[in-house]
Amino acid sequence: MTKKIFIIGALAILSCKERPKKETAEISVQQSGSAVYDDEKKETDEAHNWLEIHIENYFAGDLGNLDKMMKDMTTKDYYDYKSDAMNVDMEVDGSLTQKEFEQKWKTKFDTSKAGVGAGFLITGQDWDSIKVVKCQLVSQKGKEFLFDVILSDASHQLNYPIKVKVIKENNEFLIADVLQEDIQP
């Protein structure tokens, strides 16, 4: 009988003992004001401002320096691509036919939006004062930003809608692509 009382007492003591707690994982939720979001917003704003300033400075610059300015604000691939696009079917050294141009660049760029025969950023040959009247972020993926841009030359009453891809490379922004229409003959 004492054995039974001892077993019942031992069971009572064990059952009153605190059960081990299951480990719980703490979950922290970041709010929209997180550091990551703030950094992306800051970088987007910087890309936006850089693009507007560089476009307007390009068109306000000395005509003799436009090629150098274009080279300084674009990636090497885009500079070479756009230079080829501007010279398709021209009677200049190194110019390509339309077919040669498409073959050369089709794996890196959408050659249907190269602006063949058009200048850098606008299709017009003459301008007075080009201003950025719209520069809206369409998408961002990492260090790549796509902007919907409208450039305007008020004195000629012309608007130039384009899409501009800007990348951040080695802590500087560069234009990596401009989607624009070809000049129709």
165 has which bridge partners? 146, 177
| 185 within a domain of the structure (yes/no) | no
Would you call 23 exposed, middle or buried from its count of C-beta atoms within 10 A (0-12, 13-18, 19+)? exposed
| 156 within a domain of the structure (yes/no) | yes
CA distance 119 to 121: 6
| 17 within a domain of the structure (yes/no) | no
pLDDT in tens, 112-170: 999 998 999 998 888 999 999 999 999 999 999 999 999 999 999 999 999 999 999 99
pTM of the predicted structure, to 2 decimals: 0.78
CA dihedral 64, 68, 70, 72 (to 10 degrees): -150
pLDDT at position 65, please?
A: 94
The amino acid sitting at 91 is E
Whose tokens are 């300015």? That residue is 69
178 has which bridge partners? 164
| 127 within a domain of the structure (yes/no) | yes
18 or 116, which is more confident?
116
3-state secondary structure of 34: coil
| 166 within a domain of the structure (yes/no) | yes
pLDDT in tens, 20-46: 444 444 444 445 555 656 778 899 999
pLDDT at position 112, please?
A: 94
- What is the side-by-side strand order in the sheet with 172-179? 130-141, 144-153, 158-169, 172-179
| 103 within a domain of the structure (yes/no) | yes
What CATH number does the domain containing 61 carry? 3.10.450
> What is the average per-residue pLDDT within 52-61?
96
- Going by C-alpha positions, the residue among 152, 147, 133 that lies closest to residue 175 is 147
| 155 within a domain of the structure (yes/no) | yes
Domain count of the chain? 1
Residue 49 belongs to domain spanning: 37-180
Structure confidence at residue 110 as a pLDDT band (50, 70, 90): very high
Whose tokens are 């004195």? That residue is 155
| 24 within a domain of the structure (yes/no) | no
Structure confidence at residue 106 as a pLDDT band (50, 70, 90): very high
3-state secondary structure of 94: coil
Q: Is the pLDDT of residue 13 over 60?
A: no
Percent of the chain with pLDDT over 70: 78
Quick one: tokens of 118? 């058009």
Whose tokens are 């660049």? That residue is 105
Dump the DSSP string for 116-152. TT--SS-S-S--S-EEEEEEEEEEEETTEEEEEEEEE
